[in-house]
Structure formats: structure tokens, C-alpha cells
A = this chain, B = another copy of it.
């Protein structure tokens, strides 16, 4: 039974807390992809992508070296505008690995990205944090540390993520150092590096050399950089420099078009998908021009807009359908796919938040996403990380482990003997089959209340948010940091201290 591993791991040891290492390092999916569109529809979208790339092209701003790379590769270049003859990018992309390992400092937690594998990471990029006691406030390095610790402690996130929240109490030009140190020191899971400037990307890689050893990086991927397209159809120089930096060091780039339909792309899904795939293909191809065979991930951050207000909307049906199709197209390109998990515009961890996040996360899981960023904590259109939402979402990530485990059909699960034993009109509670299987039988939530109404009232009539509050506080209380040898820790701190001393604080 193929999915025994994840099920057993979950049941026997994978509680949130200190026994986290027993959990599976990532999920191997046992269920098929949801193939939404027919071959004909997929081909029409691909043809549109090719036409956008060849007839409209993309602008590359402030990075002559990248434009030079495109010229050499055979693109049609006119100043900043680069057009890609039909077939050119698809040819370049053949060297992108279909699957690769991102190594963690704890080898048991290295993750496999691509193919049938699913890796879940927390949210990324919120300037604010929220909880009911202190409300919405700017995030600090303490908050950042808290989320790294909780991500380490939960077995349902496989990856430590990157800028889980922005530690705005640390200078802009130095906070990447503290963030990376926090990932390295307070977790042993794989993580993401800085992408805001080329220098910070270089620092991220240098710190990895300290942690993993210089020679490791030549052969192994140990860090991911998540780089955004300036949609529609623009690549900013700082972003392409960062891509080149990661690729040159043999490290992975996640290439993410950020498209809200009606704003950075057309209001119709098919066109927005064609654009998204095209923009991502360009970024992934750039990594291959720098270093053929460097790992790359095709990103998807396609959502809808409330057209009366212009506000983004998340967890709506259109992006859920869009993810399915982007999944199909990424498989045809044979490039690992990143989708976003628990999206919502809600300002509270309420029914709206859960509704939208479930819609969004299920789409990511069903469409075949290999790396699911924003899996936990997202509120307020990504502006706020919520402590309560974080544990609600990790609970749903736990459910997704079982969901992706599929529905095994074999002699035991078909239970013919149980029917013969129990027969009409009797209960299965005490049957031999139930006794043999109940321990691994059903997913169990850490947040949901399944008690009777009366029992629930007796326990204080708590809503999901209140239960979540106890849960994250417990998770932090019980946190114990992983071991790290002292010399490495000192070397990391030394690098950081030196870098911090070398320049003035900058606050914007």
C-alpha cells in the first residue's frame, strides 16, 4: 500500500510539537490531477502564449546583461523589448529538471520538488501580523521568529518558507540577514533566500555556503529564491539580476507572475493564463541561459478582481479553475509548479477566510502544485499574518496529507470479512476489522470541535478562532530548537555581524 508511509507517520508520531522529525518530509501524491481542460483548449492557450511572446514580447528594464543573453540566444531585441520567436523558449526549457531535491540542513527534511511531490510552505511577505489580543500591528523580528518556530514544530509544513512576515523593526538593508539566520538556527527545514536586491541574494547564498559548505552548493540545491514578474510583461532589472545570481550558484528560482485579472492581465481566464505561463516561461528560460540544468519552478499567482472597487479577490472560482489549467500546462512543459495555498481577503480568521482558503488550497492540491507557498497564515489579502489562521491552515494542510493519500483499494480496505462478521443490522464498532484499522482510519483535526452541542456548551462554547488561539500558544510554549554545532553558529553570526557593520542602516 503506497500511502502507508504518510498515514502511519501521521498517526504514530506526527503530532505537532517536539516529535516533528517523525513526520514525512513532503507528500507523495496518490491521487490523480484534476484535468479540467481538453487537449484542444490547452493547445489554444499554448498558441496564445507563443503569440504573446513572439508578437508582443516583454520589456527588460535596467539589466543589459540579461538583454545580451537573450540576443545571443536568438531573441528579437529592440532596446528593452525582447520578442521570442516561436519554439525558442520551449527549446531552452528542455534543460529544466522535472524534479529536484532542495536539501535541508537536517537531511531527513530535504524535500523533493516536482513530479508527484507536494511541499507546503507558510505565507510570504506580510508587513502586518494579527491576533485577537493585540490586533493588527507591524510585524517584528520576534513575530518572524515565532512563525519560523511554529513552522518547524508543525509536521504539516515541509518547508520553512522565506519572508514569512516582514520584520519591520530591522533595517531594510539588513533584515534579510536576520531572517535567514532565523530560518537556519530555529528550524532545520529547507528555506528561501532574499530576492529584493542582487546583493541580498548573494548574502543568502554566502550564508548557505557557511551552513552547508561551499562545495555542496555546486552539486546541491539548498535555497530557493521567489522572484516576481512585474506583470504585465515586464521584468525589472533587479529581479533578473537576482534570477541570474541564484541560477549561477546552481540554486533554484521560483518565477512568479503576479496577475490580478483586469489589472495586470485580461479579465478573461484563458488569456490571463496564457500570459502567466508566458511570463513564467521567460523567467525559467533565463535561468537556463545562465546555467543549463539549474533548478527552476514555474509560479502561479493568478487571481480575480472586484471590478467595482478594483480590489483583489482571492479564493474565488475563477482562479481555482485557472490553477487547474496552469497545472496541466506546467506538466506539458515538464517544469515543477508553485501555486498559492490559503488565500483570502478576510480581515479575520472567520467563515469567509476559511471558505476562500479552502477553495484556494484545494485547487492547488488538485491541480498538481509541487510547491505550495502561502499554505498557512494568510489574511487580509496577504497584508497580515494571523497567528490563529496559521494553526487553522496547518490543520487543513494536515487534512491535505490524508486527501493526497487517496483511497486505497485492497483486501483489507474492501472489508469483505467484516460484512460477513457483522451482518445486517449490527454495528461495526467492535468488529475485528474495526479493531485492526481504527488507529489509522480517519484524519483527525486539531482545531475542529466534533462534540455534541451540550458538550460544546459545557466546554465554553468556543469558536474556531478561540480554539486556534490556545493551539498556537501551546505550539510556541513547547518549541525546542534543533541542535546546531557551535562553530557553524558562530560562523553564521560572524558573517552577519560583519555585513551589518559594513553599511549604514537604511529604512526604505
Contacts and interface: CB of A to CB of B under 8 A. Distances in A.
A264 interface: yes
B51 A464 contact: no
Contacts of A418: 266, 271
B352 A309 contact: no
A453 interface: yes
B346 A424 contact: no
A377 to B, nearest CB: 13
Interface string A443-466: 111011111110010000101110
Nearest to A259: B428
A81 B424 contact: yes
A359 B396 CA distance: 10
Interface string A337-358: 0000000011111111111111
The range of chain A's interface size is 35 or more
A434 interface: yes
Contact of A424 (B58, B348, B410): B58
A31 B358 CA distance: 19
B44 A36 contact: no
Given A262-B428, A275-B419, A317-B403, 16 more contacts: A31-B36, A34-B366, A36-B406, A262-B434, A266-B437, A267-B438, A270-B414, A271-B419, A306-B450, A312-B450, A317-B399, A347-B453, A351-B463, A356-B448, A359-B399, A362-B362
Interface of A: 31-32, 34-37, 40-41, 44-45, 48, 51-52, 55-59, 81, 136, 230, 232-234, 261-272, 274-275, 304-307, 309-313, 316-318, 320-322, 324-325, 345-359, 362, 366, 380-381, 383-384, 392, 396, 399-400, 402-403, 406-410, 412-416, 418-420, 422-429, 431, 433-434, 437-438, 441-445, 447-453, 456, 461, 463-465, 468
Ranked nearest first, the 7 interchain pairs of A and B with the lowest CB-CB distance are: A271-B415, A233-B424, A266-B415, A354-B354, A351-B354, A267-B441, A358-B358
